[in-house]
Structure formats: structure tokens, C-alpha cells
Amino acid sequence: VAPLDDPGTGKRGAAFADIDCDGRLDMAIGHFDNGVRIFRNVNPYPRNWIQIQLQGAASNTDGIGARIELWNQGQFQTREITCGSGYLSQSQTPAHFGLGSHTKAGLIRIYWPSGTVQDLYNVPANQKIVVTEQVTTTGVPEEPYSRPVLSIQNPIQGAGTFRYEVRESGPVNLGIVDVAGRLVRTLEDAAQKVSGSYTAGWNGRDERGRLMPTGIYFVRLQTQNQVDTQRVVYLQP
Ligand SMILES: [Ca+2]
């Protein structure tokens, strides 16, 4: 990074935005009694990027207070949508992520101020996307047996573990299913298992040991009188 050529003293407040919409973050610096200087980013090295503009529904319109996580093949970044970035300054509200040589973002997870968590998968790089908050209905009374019996690590990066509960002794089957409904891997298949808490792990491989592609999978637990299926995002190591 080259030093910034901005002579003189009395600078206060800086803000960042992609002012010319070329995917490189530019900067504005406010000076005492000397206006504002704009620094255009002319980095010549081609790199991939993505910008995420939030459109709140249950939350505020700009998604101020939201946190965005981006996962990509073992790399993790996070941004928070804030208002105010320095003295009398405000950066752009779209979150900017550098992706380096990656041509897509594997998983984008948005934690909205309302509490909603929203996921996007395999989003192509070099664009600004607008994400509208999904509004889900809540307040449905919980029935005694609707309590989840399966607790999973999500997303799974390379390998993950699951905890599950067998409420009544009997047959148990636990497996990974892909989005097309195909069984990818059986993790447990017991004719009789004593009631209790158990753990199981998945290393991202199918029955033949092949590494599965990054994407959405389902962990499915079948016991004597229950079926619980939960969606999980798997990211290759
Ligand atoms: Ca720019």
C-alpha cells in the first residue's frame, strides 16, 4: 500500500465508499477549514469483490446494526453496518468484501437487527447485490415433541459434529442428504439404540470417500417416533 499523499495537518474524519462504482473502495478525508479531499482508488491489480446492500423489512431500512459474515473455502470475513465512521462522516452503507482470486462468495450470512438470520450461497463476485430481509412468522406455540432432537454445527467447514437425542430406545438412522434428496452418507444405522444423547461427525465425504462440493445439505435423523431434518451449509476445506 502506497503512503497517502495528503499534506498538511488538521484532518478529521474519514469515510469509505466506492464512489466511481469500479469495485475498489475510495476514500474521503475531511480537513479543518480546508474542505474535503477525495482519494480515488486506482490499484492496478485485478481482484474480485462483492458489495451487499441491505434492505430491511422488520429491521430498519438500511439494515443499520446488521452483521454480515462471508465464508469462502476456509476464509472468514465479517462486516457490521454502522452509521457514522468518524467525525461528521459516514461510509457507504453497502458492505464491501474483497474476495481476492475467488470468483464467488460461498456463503453470505446476514444477522439482521430483528434477529432474523438469512443465508445466500455461491453468489458470483464483482457485483453489488441488494438483499431484502426475509420476514418469518414467529410465535407458534411449541409442542412437546417439536423440540429439536438434533443439534448441528452450521456451517460445516471441512468437518462438523452433530448432537442428537434418542428419546425412546429403538432404531436410529442418521444420514446426510443432498438437495436432490439423495442419501450422501449414512452416519448411524442402528436397529436398537438406548435412549440418551449421542454425537456423530461428518467429514464432508460420501460413502465412497469422495469429497462433496460446497453447498446445502440436510442432516436427517430418524428414530422410533420422530424424524428431524435440518439444513446445513457445507464448505470444502
Ligand atoms: Ca472505486
Q: What is the pLDDT of residue 2?
A: 58
Q: Give the end of a domain, one of 80, 97, 132.
A: 132
Ligand 1 center to 204 CA (angstroms): 39
Radius of gyration of the chain (CA): 23
Ligand 1 center to 16 CA (angstroms): 10
* CA-wise closest residue to 101 among 140, 73, 139: 73
Ligand 1 center to 41 CA (angstroms): 5
For residues 160 and 220, state if they share a domain.
yes
Q: What is the pLDDT of residue 166?
A: 85
Ligand 1 center to 46 CA (angstroms): 13
Is 167 within the bounds of a domain?
yes
Q: Give the end of a domain, one of 105, 132, 159.
A: 132
Ligand 1 center to 97 CA (angstroms): 13
Ligand 1 center to 22 CA (angstroms): 5
Is 113 in contact with 68 (CB distance < 8 Å)? no
For residues 128 and 187, state if they share a domain.
no
Which residues of the chain fall short of a pLDDT of 50?
A: 138-148
Q: What is the pLDDT of residue 134?
A: 86
Q: What is the pLDDT of residue 208?
A: 94
C-alpha dist (Å) from residue 33 to 9, 62, 132:
11, 31, 40
Ligand 1 center to 129 CA (angstroms): 16
Is 96 in contact with 62 (CB distance < 8 Å)? no
For residues 125 and 85, state if they share a domain.
yes
Is 11 in contact with 4 (CB distance < 8 Å)? no
Ligand 1 center to 39 CA (angstroms): 9
Q: What is the pLDDT of residue 19?
A: 92
Q: Give the end of a domain, one of 80, 108, 132.
A: 132
For residues 122 and 154, state if they share a domain.
no
When the pLDDT of each residue in the chain is averaged and rounded to a whole number, the result is 86
Q: What is the pLDDT of residue 3?
A: 64
Q: What's the structural domain count of the chain?
A: 2
With H, G, I as helix, E, B as strand and everything else as coil, classify residue 59: coil
* Buried/exposed code over 143-180 (b: 16+ C-beta within 10 A; e: otherwise): eeeeeebbbbebbbbeebebebbbeeeeebbbbbebee
Whether the link from the prior residue into 155 is cis, omega within 30° of 0, is yes
What domain range is 66 assigned to? 45-132
Residue 28 C-alpha cell reads as 474521503
Q: What is the pLDDT of residue 237?
A: 86
Ligand 1 center to 154 CA (angstroms): 34
Q: What is the pLDDT of residue 71?
A: 86
